[in-house]
Amino acid sequence: MSILTISKSPLAIDVRFDEARMYISLEDGRELSIPLEWFPKLRDANQDALLNFRFIGGGEGIHWESLDEDILVTNLL
């Protein structure tokens, strides 16, 4: 019996927000929806600060310099 293994990439390629959630698009087509409540610094930030992010590690994480916040994508899976 063989087992099919599918490798999926946990690299982020896009981030967007609404009033209550952060949406992270992954390289493999998946999209994560995360409550901002989990991240008080993001929850309390204005839209300009939220959109002032950069990807770190080629998409392994997301960094907000002005908010002093870093999130690793694999920790959200």
Considering the domain boundaries, does residue 2 fall inside one?
no
Asked if residue 3 belongs to a domain, the reply is no
Give the CATH number for residue 44. Answer: 3.30.2020.40
Q: What is the pLDDT of residue 5?
A: 61
Can you give the pLDDT at residue 12?
97
Q: Which domain holds residue 28?
A: 12-76
Q: Tell me whether residue 66 is in a domain.
A: yes
Task: Output the tens digit of pLDDT for each of the chain's 77 residues.
Answer: 667 665 667 899 999 999 999 999 999 999 999 999 999 999 999 999 999 999 999 999 999 999 999 999 999 99
- How far from 5 is each of 8, 11, 29, CA to CA, in Å? 10, 18, 17
Number of domains in the chain: 1
Q: Phi, psi at residue 5, to the nearest 5°?
A: -115, 125
70 belongs to a structural domain: yes
